[in-house]
Structure formats: C-alpha cells, structure tokens
Amino acid sequence: MTAVFSPSLMCMDLTHFREQIHLLNTRADRYHVDVMDGHYVKNMTLSPFFIEQLRKLTNLPIDVHLMAEHPQEFLIDACIDAGATMICLHPEVVQKDAFRIIRHIHQRKCDVGFVLNPATPVAALDSFIHLIDRVTIMTIDPGFAGQPFIKEMLQKIKQVRDIKKHGGYSFSIEVDGSCNESTFRLLAEAGNEIYIIGTSGLFGLHKELDTAWERMKQIFAKETASIESR
C-alpha cells in the first residue's frame, strides 16, 4: 500500500489557516483534526466549528479524532454535520454502546475508526473489529503534541497488521504520534499505512510549508527506500 499522509491540523499555523489549507489541498491525502473536551485529556484543541470552516476550503477527507468522555451525546453528530468523513473514537469511553455508535455513524454515511492508547490492548476491539474502517495506534500518550515516541508500540502495530491479514479485514492502519525522520522506517516495517504528521514530521521542518512538505517527502523516501526495494 502506498503511504498516506494526514497532516495534524492542531500543529499548523492557524494565523495562516486559509493559505496553508490551500497549499495542503494539493499535497495531503486527508486531514486529521483533534477534538478534545478537556476531560478525557487535560487539553482542549479544535472543534466542530473548525471542521465546518475547514470543509469550506477542501474536498479532502477529514478524519476527526474525538478525545472526549461522552462523544455520543453531542460531538459525533456535530462533527459529521460539520463535514467530517471519519470519526475515530476511544474504546474505553464507548464500550457499552459501541455497536449502537458504530451503526449510527455508518448510517450517517461516515466511516468509523477506533484509537488505541499506548496502554490499551488490541483486544479492546475484538468484539467489533470486523465492523470498523480504521485502527489508529497512539505511539505517544494522548493530549499533547511533541511527546517522545513509545517504541513498545511497534509490536502493537505488527499485531494489528497480522490481525488484518489473517482475518481478511479491510480496515486501514494508522499511527498517531512522532511520525518523523527517526520513526518513518520503523513504522513502515511494522506495517503502518497512514502517517499523521505534526510538528516534528512536517510543520516544524521549515517556516515555509511548501518547503517543509517537500522535505518531509524526501525524508520519508530516504528512510523507507530499503523497505520498498525488498
């Protein structure tokens, strides 16, 4: 599978929102939007209103990662109404309603993914993994950008890759956290497919975003060249 790149928009320069989105529209495969409620994690970031404004500027898929204690009460529908094309949830907060929530999101013509925190086992998805469109592995603790990579998560990526292969599932595999020069090769070898790129992987590489994007692609190609040639 060709690598897919999803810029994490909480890391972008919001003072140049329109300019940067117009540029990314010609380069990115999809967008990653973090919505945090200040309770599930001790941070608050983007919102359904941000998604609505983003949708006015792009036709690319918008993946929304909900870090909220009660997403089913408001945020899911608000994000879909605003233009989200995928809702990604944490199994810990929706476990008792998981089947109903998955069904509801699909009925809204939106894809659904589940996000595994570093301490959350893959087994948390066992009951409904056949119904979902994405498995995201957090390689940092959720809530804040710029944290160090948790190398133990490479084994979890391999585990999800093997489950997908042996079960014949079609969900995509994504990594959130420290996707950058020091990890691209490790993540690709483990079986990752979608790279969420934030400060260290994209926005911090150069003050000019077009230059930063080209630098990111060059780094990725260099780091993964030996894998592609096998």
The 8-class DSSP code of residue 16 comes to: G
Among 75, 77, 85, 92, which Cα is nearest to 54's?
A: 85
CA torsion 212→213→217→222, rounded to 10°?
0
The 8-class DSSP code of residue 42 comes to: S
Q: Check if 63 is active-site.
A: no
pLDDT in tens, 141-156: 876 666 789 999 999 9
pLDDT at 229: 44
pLDDT at 36: 85
CA angle 55, 175, 129 (to 5 degrees): 90
8 in a labelled binding site: no
Q: Which residues of the chain fall below pLDDT 50?
A: 229-230
Q: Check if 176 is active-site.
A: yes
Sheet holding 172-176, edge to edge: 4-7, 194-197, 172-176, 134-138, 111-116, 86-89, 62-67, 31-36
Catalytic residue among 37, 111, 133, 176: 176
166 in a labelled binding site: no
Whole-angstrom CA distances from 199 to 3, 62, 185, 203, 217 are 19, 19, 18, 5, 15
- Give the Cα separation of 96 and 93 in Å (integer): 8
206 in a labelled binding site: no
pLDDT at 42: 65
177 in a labelled binding site: yes
pLDDT in tens, 82-114: 999 999 999 999 988 999 999 999 999 999 999
pLDDT at 230: 47
DSSP secondary structure letters along 45-77: ---HHHHHHHHTT--S-EEEEEE-S-GGGTHHH
Please name each of the domains of the chain with its CATH number: 4-228 (3.20.20.70)
Q: Is 109 helix (H, G, I), strand (E, B) or coil?
A: coil
170 in a labelled binding site: no
Among 66, 65, 62, 83, which Cα is nearest to 74's?
A: 66
145 in a labelled binding site: yes
- Give the Cα separation of 64 and 88 in Å (integer): 6
Catalytic residue among 34, 63, 77, 111: 34
